[in-house]
Amino acid sequence: MPDPIRVALIGCGGIMVGRHLRLMLQHEDATLVAFTDPVAAARQRAREADPTLAAVPTFADHAQMLAEVQPEAVVIGTPHSFHHRHIIDSLHAGAHVLVEKPMVNTAAEAEEVIATRDATGKVVAIAYQRHGEATFRQIKRLIDDGSLGDIQFITAEQDQPWHTVMLQRELPWRVKPELSGGGQLNDSGSHLVDILLHVTGLVPERVFALQQHLTLDVDVNSAIVVQFHGGAIATLAIVGNSPGIQAHVWEDIAFHGSKGTLYYRMIGQPDQRPWLEWRRQGDEAPTPFPTPPAETTPDANFLAAIRGREPVAATAEDGLRVAKLSAAIWQSAQQGKAVTVAS
């Protein structure tokens, strides 16, 4: 067995300490070598997450950490507007990168990430966990193999008590445009935009969107219509001011194809597990599913991709596609008219 991959964390907030740190601790092919965050309390919280981390060095500045520790890989979980600089600096320092969603805030930033990744030969992965979940892998497989025929129409609703949660705090960075790059569309909504593009392979052509900011400086609710090359249409409702179940996300998605429909629902199901049903045209009963694909996490896939054992599940190209569609949605909402999505 080769030595474990030396992993550093950039950003020590809730998602990093509560998920990525713990997943890395559980993986025998990773060892945590540094924690970086400008907030001293956050750095200390990371060190206190497990007794084995007491001696891990901490840094306030990511550039100093990269120079002194020289990690083989980094996980980035900072405010969205910092992702671009942290990714580029890490790649130039010789580190592979796993970054929280969205990868970056603009298409230009995404294109620079892709160019730098290619120039350095390093792995860049995005923590869009749905790419590794069995349910969405099943959906993608059935669409890819033609079981649904041509995708013609998609309906998708996502809602969450995002607005309420933001107001319960001292206006966190997620609602400050200069730090977040956008509101709920760039937060939980980014997962929805990404997975629809990923499982269908559809390429957006035009978008019309309306948004509500309510009491914030960023979008809370979005009503979106997307027309894809080839004629397929999607309606997306991203609602950030619903009652919700704690902070969980409720979702209902239907993928309508020429041969049948896949219905997906999450939250409110037993044990919070997703519900999926496949209906073929002309059949009154649901169609049984084939054996579901294996699952993976972004962290496990990232480590396996570094070793050359798996392809990257959520790539920088996925981040570019999300950035282009998101930019068109914001532009349409601001201008009040349909806009063309950058090719």
pLDDT tens digits along 275-284? 999 999 999 8
Residue 111 CB coordination number (10 Å):
14
Residues 289/292/298/300 CA torsion (nearest 10 deg) = 180
- CB atoms under 10 Å from CB of 289, counted, come to 15
> 81 near 180, Cβ under 8 Å?
yes
- The domains found in the chain, sorted by start residue, are 5-129+299-312 (3.40.50.720), 133-293+323-340 (3.30.360.10)
pLDDT computed for residue 268 by the predictor: 60
Q: Is the pLDDT confidence value at 244 over 90?
A: no
Dmax (CA) for the chain in angstroms is 64
Are 197 and 317 in contact, with CB atoms under 8 Å apart?
A: no
Q: How many CA atoms lie within 13 A of 286 on its CB side?
A: 9
**pTM of the predicted model as reported, rounded to 2 decimal places:** 0.96
Helices (H), the chain: 14-15, 21-26, 40-47, 62-69, 83-92, 107-120, 134-144, 162-167, 177-180, 188-200, 298-306, 316-335
d(CA 138, CA 292): 6
Reported as a single tens digit per residue, the pLDDT across 26-54 is 999 999 999 999 999 999 999 999 999 99
Amino acid 165: pLDDT: 87
On whether the CB atoms of residues 78 and 298 are closer than 8 A, the answer is no
pLDDT(170) > 90:
no
